Amino acid sequence: MNNQDDVLTHALTFRNTSEQGLSLKQVHERIIGFIQLDPKAAYKFIIGTDCQVHQGYTQFITGVVIQRPGNGAWACYRQVIIPRAIASIKEKLSTETALSEEIALYFSDEKRRQMEDIVLPFVYKGASFESYIHIDAGSDHVKNKTSLYVAEMVLRVQSLGMVPIIKPDSYVASAYANRYSKKKHQIII
């Protein structure tokens, strides 16, 4: 990280265990392909972000998941590095939500409709498609320091036309993205 200005410009590239350098267009194509494998199934399209503070920087991981509950999923994630340790819970949660929103904006109504159109002919046979943003915050005032900010984050997600999900059910943020945010990744600029 020689030039901090370079670090603040983050590529919109994704990776998973088998692929790296995926563009948002390629992510959308992979999701379409996954749905086409079984258009009669129920699908959950989920975006969620988690962060971890490491020495001198904060690493954010945004997961994008297309889930066929009980029958597999396809997933990938994006890494964003902020070159300072963020201490404020509100700032971390707000940035997590903003990064999820950024990806959700790419998956506009038109792109989500392309996904829905694959299952639409089979809705009377149990097919469905739902869009969510998982927020890494919970409403339990005793367990979650984030509870003060839940209502604000939920409203932000709803304004995008997606369904907000909070802890303990926000597994894309609190489990999938969390797993990768804890790892010290090679910093990608």
Tens of pLDDT along the chain (189 residues)? 344 444 445 778 999 999 999 999 999 999 999 999 999 999 999 999 999 999 999 999 999 999 999 999 999 999 999 999 999 999 999 999 999 999 999 998 899 999 999 999 999 999 999 999 999 999 988 778 899 999 999 999 999 989 999 999 999 999 999 888 888 755 544
CA angle, 108 then 133 then 179, to 5°: 125
Report pLDDT for 2.
42
The domain locations on the chain are 4-181
Q: What Å distances lie between residue 58 and 2, 44, 166, CA to CA? A: 16, 29, 22
Residue 21 CA to residue 35 CA, distance in Å, equals 22
Arch. (CATH architecture) of 4-181? 2-Layer Sandwich (3.30)
Report pLDDT for 5.
44
Report pLDDT for 142.
75
For 185, list phi and psi in degrees, rounded to 5. -85, 160
What is the β-pairing status of strands 57-67 and 42-54? antiparallel
